[in-house]
Amino acid sequence: MNARIMIDLTAVHPVTNGRWHRVANLHRMPRPGEQLIMMCGESEPAEFVAAGPIIETAPTTCWRCDLAYRRAAGIPVRPDHPALPVPRPRPHA
């Protein structure tokens, strides 16, 4: 009998360049080397490492993925969300 390791696919967040991302519609674990397309549009091959002592610094949020995820899930987006463009002041008439 095998010891199954159960993984919540909604909690799988690829990390690249110190930022954690989201992958839309992940229906199975990616295979090592399989190209992952993140919701922000970045694309990298999958690699697996153990969390914990290997991680030297905590990854930060990819705000573009967060914005895309919120929009896809119907979650309200605050007007000051970091991935939204900064509104320019209107010129005075």
Closer to Zn ion by Cβ: residue 5 or 65: 65
Site size toward Zn ion, by CB under 5 A: 5
Residues in the chain: 93
Provide φ and ψ at 67, rounded to 5°.
-65, -45
Closer to Zn ion by Cβ: residue 46 or 62: 62
Residues 6 or more apart whose Cβ sits within 8 Å of residue 74: none
**Residue 67 in the binding site for Zn ion (CB under 5 A):** no
**Residue 65 in the binding site for Zn ion (CB under 5 A):** yes
For 48, the token pair is: 């697996």
Q: How far is the CB of 38 from Zn ion (least distance, A)?
A: 4
**Residue 68 in the binding site for Zn ion (CB under 5 A):** no
Q: What does the CA dihedral 73, 75, 79, 80 come to, rounded to 10 degrees?
A: -90
Q: How far is the CB of 92 from Zn ion (least distance, A)?
A: 38
7-36: which residues touch Zn ion (CB under 5 A)?
Answer: 21
CB 83 within 8 A of CB 71: no
Binding positions for Zn ion, rule: CB under 5 A: 21, 38, 40, 62, 65
